[in-house]
Amino acid sequence: MAKNHGASVKDDKTYEALRDSGASKEKAARIANAKAGGGRPSKKGGHAARYEDQTKDQLMKKAADIGIDGRSKMSRGELIDALRHH
């Protein structure tokens, strides 16, 4: 039986299934809320440049903004991977 996870989670059953499969709380809530809202992405966003199209300096700045440790010793490919999986 699904628990009530508060007002911030719109679909408790989906949230629990995602958490049981190993998703983080943040990711599970995001997916559960999207599903409850019709499952369609919002019209906002989607305009960011691809990581592959950015310079290493731009990637370093994004990594610093997010707080990725060890970024100064990472190659461009490692920065892209770290940004995608932060």
pTM: 0.49
Residue-wise pLDDT tens digits, 41-58: 566 666 778 999 999 999
DSSP letter at 52?
A: G
Sign of CA dihedral 84, 57, 67, 43: negative
- Residue 40: pLDDT above 70? no
Query: Which pLDDT score, from 0 to 100, does residue 60 have?
Result: 96
Residue-wise pLDDT tens digits, 4-36: 556 577 778 888 888 888 888 888 888 877 776
- Residue 39: pLDDT above 70? no
CB atoms < 10 A from the CB of 15, how many?
25
Name the nearest CA neighbour of 36 among 13, 5, 2: 13
